[in-house]
Amino acid sequence: MDTHDHPTPTRYRHARSPRGHRHRRTPHTARTPAVLALAAAALLTGCTAAPPAAPTASTAPTASAPPATAPASAGTPGAPHSAAPAPPPGTLLVTDFGADTVTFVDPSARGAAADLGSVRVGTAPYGIALGADGTAWVATAEGVAAVDTRTRERTALIPYATATGGVTTGEYRGGGMGIALSPDGSRVYVGVNVPGREGALEVVDTARRKVVRTVPVGRRPFDVDVSRDGRQVYVTNHDSFDVTVVTTRDGSARRVEVAPYGTEGGLGSWLKPHYAVVRPSDGALLLPFEGERLAVVDPATGRVRIEPMTADTHQHGAAVAADGTLYVVGTGPIDPAEDAGPSLTIRTPAGRERLVPLDGPHEDVALSADGATAYVSGGFTRDGYWNGLSVVDTATGRVTRVPVGERPLGIAVL
């Protein structure tokens, strides 16, 4: 089905049982213009049908992109940062989806002091993964950028093997989205969006800095995760309601549908998977939906089990601590008359949840090494984003807002 079959997103509301328990969502199209506007402003990346036409090989990125090994300086053009001090532990590196940079952030500072400078990486950077050697790998519209976080320089821009159309910005732009590293750091796995078509998982050899394998996946690969043993990669495909399970040994792949509300509405549905985490205890995939349902996927069998959640808000980013505690970003309501606002869910391995209210929509979350702090990004691709992070004390729920970046999405903790 072409994305143009759904120019307007299908809206959903809750259907309540006689006891008031929320158990499913059903289609609901009777929205006033005011409610529609509020709902659109509250939602984050990729919750509507993707309108761009499918690209062809003839519309691949032009040769004007920087060469694969060309370095890029941070901050002002021509002002290299090789002499800058190495960032202290706990410094954040965030992707600026509204610019062509990643920004170093001191989360303990306030105001302008939190901004430690930026590095140009490529158009509309999305996900980020940090290697043990201090290299940050960034999925941009142009290619995968490698950033030396010690010298604060881009050391490579690796073009995609997949034709994604011309380099653009915005919610439906082609190019890299989710990104992850193999446990040994030898491979980068990046989900490549092809507007209007199925996407691809591209495998980058980190030593040779080139794409060495391409695997077809579903539409708009929001997130990429790797199993603890590195034998499998999991690609969460937003617009096809599924996860592609890829075997790293031979590149074989299979699809697991993850649609706890069904696939009604197709590309226009809001109720699609966004981000996943790998549960440390057993390797299961955890995918939150709507602050109501947690899909627990067994990658070996493809079985999906549903557990209840309590935040009652449209959910996106997720992170998991070493002890199995799950952190989930609530972006805000689909219907402001019925749904709750933005929040951070903190869920214990036993399923007990605590909600931390957030001021305004957010997108993704990362954790400090000790799990005492959660960093939640405030930037996304729709109107209503804000340029900053919410720093959450996970014990007390205290929230501090740190203005920084340009539509910050992905977060790495150095």
User: What pLDDT digit, counting tens, does each position of 137-173 carry?
Assistant: 999 999 999 999 999 999 999 999 999 999 999 989 9
Residue keyed to tokens 């940079």: 101
| CA distances in angstroms from 320 to 49, 204, 208, 370, listed in the order given | 29, 25, 31, 12
The per-residue b/e assignment along 50-87, b for 16 or more CB within 10 angstroms, e otherwise, is bebeebeeeebbeeebbeeeebbbbbeeeeebeebeeb
Secondary-structure percent of the chain, ordered helix, strand, coil, rounded to 5: 5, 40, 55
Multiple choice CATH, 3-55+69-413, 3.30.2320.50, 3.40.190.170, 3.40.1390.10, 2.130.10.10: 2.130.10.10
**pLDDT bracket for residue 385 (50, 70, 90):** confident
pTM of the model: 0.85
Band the pLDDT of 268: cuts 50, 70, 90: confident
* pLDDT greater than 80 at residue 44: no
DSSP state of 196: T
- Per-residue pLDDT tens digits for 229-251: 999 999 999 999 999 999 999 99
Distance CA 142, CA 152 (A): 20
